Structure 1
Amino acid sequence: MPQSIRQAVARVEAVDDDHLSLRDFKRIADLIGGEVGIKLPPAKRLMIEGRLRKRVRALGLSGLEAYSAYLFQGDGLRAERPHLINAVTTNKTDFFREPEHFEVLEQRLVPALLELRRSERQPLLKIWSAASSTGAEAYTLAMVLADLVAQRHDFRFAILGTDISTSVLEQGERAVYPTELVAPVPPAKQQRYLMHARKPGARPEVRIVPELRRLVQFARLNLMDASYPFDRDVDVIFLRNVLIYFDKADQEKVIIRLVEHLRPGGYLILGHSESMIGTAVTMRQVAPAVFQKP
C-alpha cells in the first residue's frame, strides 16, 4: 500500500477512535448551556466532536480525551473558554436572509419611527443586530437604510452588531466575504456597496465599502448576561433564529432584557420560526415575527 494511502487510512482510523466520553460531552454541554444558553442535546455529539478536533490540533493534543482533561483537570479552561465557545456556537448567516423583514423595515417601520420623531431634525435611528454572526445581517441593514437615506434625506442611522463569538466579530469588522455569500444582495446594491479585489485569488472575495463600514460597529455580548451595556433608546432590534437554541425560561429572560433597550414605539424582530407566545412581555405584533413596544 503506498505511503500516502496508509497515512490517509491512519487518519481515518484515528478519528474513528477519537470520541468524547458521555461524561465529558455532558460536562461540555452543561458548560455551554450555563454560560451562553445554547442547549447541546446528545444528538449534537458527533458535530461537536468534529468542531473540537480543530482545537485538539491547534493545541497539539493527542485527542478529545486529552482535550477534556485539559479543560477540566487543570486550569486550561480559563484560556480555552473563548475558543471553546467559538468552536461550538452555530453561526449560520446570509445576506438578506428572510428578506421580507427588510421590506417591512423599509416600507413600514422606518416611516413609523420617523413619524414618532417628526419634531426632531435628522433623527438618528439606532438598529441592533443582537446575534450578528459574521456581520451579514448588520451590513444588509446598512445597505437597506443607506438606500432609504439617499431617497428621503431626513434621518441618520447607526448599527450595532453583537455576538458571543469573537472569531465571527473579527470577520464582521474586516467586512470581507466570499463572493458566493453575497449572491442574495440585489445587483444595484452590489454595485454601490461591494468592492472587488483588483487581483482576485483562488476564492474571489468582496469587501463592504468604507462608507457603510463606518456606520456599523461590533461588540461582544453574551445574551445570557444579567444586563447589556448598550443604549436604552434603540429603535429596532433584530434577534432572528437564535432563541430556538435556548430553553423557554432563557428565551423569556433574553426578550425581557432586549425590550428594556427599545425606546417606546421601537420594534423587536424575531425569526419566523420563533414566537413571543408564553412570555410575560406585552408587545403588539405588527407583521409576522415583528413586535412593537408600547
Structure 2
Amino acid sequence: MVSITNKEFTQLADFIRSHYGIHLKDEKQSLITGRLHLVLQQLNFNSFTEYFEYVVSDRSGDAAVTLIDRITTNHTFFMRETKHFDVMRDKVLPYLSGTVRDKDLRIWSAGCSSGEEPYTLAMLIDEFFGQQKRFWDTKILATDISERVLDMAIKGMYPNESLESLPAHWKLNNFRRMSADRSVVADKIRQEVIFRKFNLMEETFPFKKKFHVVFCRNVMIYFDNATKMELVRKFYDIMEPGGYLFIGHSESLDRDKTRYKYVMPSVYRKE
C-alpha cells in the first residue's frame, strides 16, 4: 500500500476542503490512505503527490468525482431519524397546505445519498394529500455530490430488508418486488423526485424559486464551523418565510449566529 506523507495529506485535505467543504482532521490520514489505495493502484501511481497532480490537472472532473466518491460515507436508510417525518406529517405539511396559494410545494433534499430520504418524503406527501395531490406540484429536488449514489437513487432499487422500517401499506403501495431479495420504488413515487448532481459549496445557489422545506441531514458533520454557517446562510436566503430546515439529530446551529428560529432539536424555521 502506498503511504501518504503529512505534506501530501495536508495538500489533499486542503483541496477537498476548498472545493467540497469537507474538513478532514489529521486522524483521518490512515482512513484516506485505505480508501484511495485501490485508486492509486489502478492508475499505477507510486505516490499521493502523483495522484494529487492527476486530480487537479484532470479537466473532465472525473478524477475529482472518484476522489469524493471514495472518501464520503453516504450512509442512510429509510425513515432515518423518524421524528422528522412525524413533524413533516403533523406540522409542516398542514401548515404549507393552508398557506401555499399557488399549490407549488418546493422541497429540497440536499445530500440525498442513495435516495431513501427523498423517496420517503415523496411517499409521505402522497399519503398526506391523497386525492388532492393531483392539484399540487409536489416534486422534490434531491441533490448529491456523488454520481455513484445518485445512480443508485435514480434506479430506486433496494434490498427488501431495508424496507422493514416502512409502514406495511407503504411497502405494498409504493414498491414492486423485483426478486426474492430486492424491490424497486413504484413509478408514481419515482417520478416525484428529481435527482441532480450539485456541490453545496457553490458560491451562489442557482434556483429561480425559493424552497418551503430543506432537508440537509448528517451532511454538515463533515464541515468546519465557518463552512457550516455559510451554508446555513445560503439555505436561509433561498427559503420562503415560514420555511423549515431539518438537519441531523447529531447536528445543531448556534442560535446566536443564525437567523433561523429554533423549533426543536435539529428543526429550525425562517420567520
Normalising by structure 2, we get a TM-score of 0.91
Name which of 5, 18, 25 aligns with 1:41: 25
Report the Cα offset of residue 276 of structure 1. 1.8
* Cα distance in 1 for residues equivalent to 2:240 and 2:225: 25
Q: Contact 1:36–1:223 (CA<8 Å) still a contact in 2?
A: yes
The one-letter amino acid paired with 1:283 is Y
Could you tell me which residue of structure 2 aligns to residue 9 of structure 1? none
Task: Please list the CA deviations of residues 15-60 of structure 1 after superposition, one character each: whole Å capped at 9, or x if unmatched.
Answer: 4xx322222122111111111111111211222122112323443x
* Cα distance in 2 for residues equivalent to 1:162 and 1:170: 11
Q: Would the alpha carbon gap of residues 152 and 288 (structure 1) be closer, same or farther in structure 2, given more than 3 Å must change? A: farther
* Cα distance in 1 for residues equivalent to 2:54 and 2:171: 51
Q: Would the alpha carbon gap of residues 291 and 73 (structure 1) be closer, same or farther in structure 2, given more than 3 Å must change? A: closer
* Cα distance in 2 for residues equivalent to 1:269 and 1:221: 19
Report the Cα offset of residue 180 of structure 1. 2.8
Check if 1:240 corresponds to 2:217: yes
Report the Cα offset of residue 280 of structure 1. 3.5
Check if 1:50 corresponds to 2:29: no
* Cα distance in 2 for residues equivalent to 1:47 and 1:180: 29
Q: Would the alpha carbon gap of residues 74 and 209 (structure 1) be closer, same or farther in structure 2, given more than 3 Å must change? A: closer
Check if 1:112 corresponds to 2:92: no
Q: Contact 2:45–2:51 (CA<8 Å) still a contact in 1?
A: no
Report the Cα offset of residue 174 of structure 1. 1.3
Could you tell me which residue of structure 2 aligns to residue 26 of structure 1? 10
Q: Would the alpha carbon gap of residues 133 and 210 (structure 1) be closer, same or farther in structure 2, given more than 3 Å must change? A: same
Check if 1:169 corresponds to 2:146: no
Q: Which runs of 5+ in 2 are unaligned?
A: none
Q: Which runs of 5+ in 1 are unaligned?
A: 1-14
* Cα distance in 1 for residues equivalent to 2:269 and 2:55: 48
Which region of structure 1 is more displaced relative to structure 2, 151-160 or 83-92? 151-160
* Cα distance in 1 for residues equivalent to 2:76 and 2:224: 21
Task: Please list the CA deviations of residues 176-229 of structure 1 after superposition, one character each: whole Å capped at 9, or x if unmatched.
Answer: 1222333322222111111111x44xxx22211111111101111111111112
Name which of 256, 260, 270 aligns with 2:233: 256
Check if 1:284 corresponds to 2:254: no
| Poorly superposed stretches of 4+, deviation over 6 Å | none
Check if 1:213 corresponds to 2:190: yes
Could you tell me which residue of structure 2 aligns to residue 12 of structure 1? none
Q: Would the alpha carbon gap of residues 73 and 226 (structure 1) be closer, same or farther in structure 2, given more than 3 Å must change? A: closer
Normalising by structure 1, we get a TM-score of 0.84
Which region of structure 1 is more displaced relative to structure 2, 255-264 or 150-159? 150-159
Report the Cα offset of residue 143 of structure 1. 1.1
Q: Would the alpha carbon gap of residues 152 and 284 (structure 1) be closer, same or farther in structure 2, given more than 3 Å must change? A: farther
Task: Please list the CA deviations of residues 66-115 of structure 1 after superposition, one character each: whole Å capped at 9, or x if unmatched.
Answer: x5313327865444111111111221111110000000001100111122
Q: Would the alpha carbon gap of residues 57 and 195 (structure 1) be closer, same or farther in structure 2, given more than 3 Å must change? A: farther
Report the Cα offset of residue 151 of structure 1. 6.5
Task: Please list the CA deviations of residues 141-177 of structure 1 after superposition, one character each: whole Å capped at 9, or x if unmatched.
Answer: 1111111121655644110111111111111111112
Q: Would the alpha carbon gap of residues 152 and 108 (structure 1) be closer, same or farther in structure 2, given more than 3 Å must change? A: farther
* Cα distance in 2 for residues equivalent to 1:195 and 1:143: 14
Q: In the TM superposition, what are the counterparts of 1:88-99 in structure 2 within 5 Å?
A: 88-99=71-82
Q: Contact 1:240–1:271 (CA<8 Å) still a contact in 2?
A: yes
Larger radius of gyration, structure 1 or 2?
A: 1
* Cα distance in 2 for residues equivalent to 1:261 and 1:127: 11
Could you tell me which residue of structure 2 aligns to residue 102 of structure 1? 85
Check if 1:82 corresponds to 2:65: yes
* Cα distance in 1 for residues equivalent to 2:204 and 2:52: 28
Could you tell me which residue of structure 2 aligns to residue 225 of structure 1? 202
Q: Would the alpha carbon gap of residues 76 and 47 (structure 1) be closer, same or farther in structure 2, given more than 3 Å must change? A: same
Q: Contact 1:71–1:80 (CA<8 Å) still a contact in 2?
A: no
CA RMSD, 1 decimal: 2.1
Check if 1:135 corresponds to 2:115: yes
